[in-house]
Amino acid sequence: MIVIRRDGMYACPLVLCDACGRWITGKGNVYWIEPKGVGDIAKVWFVHKPGCTGLDRVIEQHTGEHVHDEDLDTWLDHLRRNTALKDTHD
């Protein structure tokens, strides 16, 4: 899940692993079940990669649906583009 955590004077956005609950500071994966119709939305899950990647099979067993996945860094690039935010580091 995406959260915000107080760190000294600042509140910092973080991604927490939905499998183990720890902060993802390296490689990660994002899982989701494809929305069925136009305009439908779906929950996403974040996990450490490769350590916590078995969550996709658990989700599939509970929902009976195929779980899609993407690298966390690629998914965050899509998120930034879909919110029309410019990369301030260019």
Q: Which residues bind Zn ion (CB under 5 A)?
A: 17, 19-20, 48, 52
Which residue, 58 or 81, is less far from Zn ion as judged by CB?
58
Instruction: Give the rounded distance of the alpha carbon of 86 from its chain centre.
Output: 20
Query: Apex CA 53: angle with CA 51 and CA 59, to 5°?
Result: 145
Which residue, 33 or 49, is less far from Zn ion as judged by CB?
49
Reading the block at residue 61, the tokens are 């067993």
Min CB(58)–Zn ion separation in Å: 13
Q: Given the DSSP bridges, would you call strands 2-7 and 10-15 parallel, antiparallel or unpaired?
A: antiparallel
Min CB(64)–Zn ion separation in Å: 24
Which residue, 16 or 33, is less far from Zn ion as judged by CB?
16
Min CB(82)–Zn ion separation in Å: 25
| Cα 77 from Cα 64, distance rounded (Å) | 29
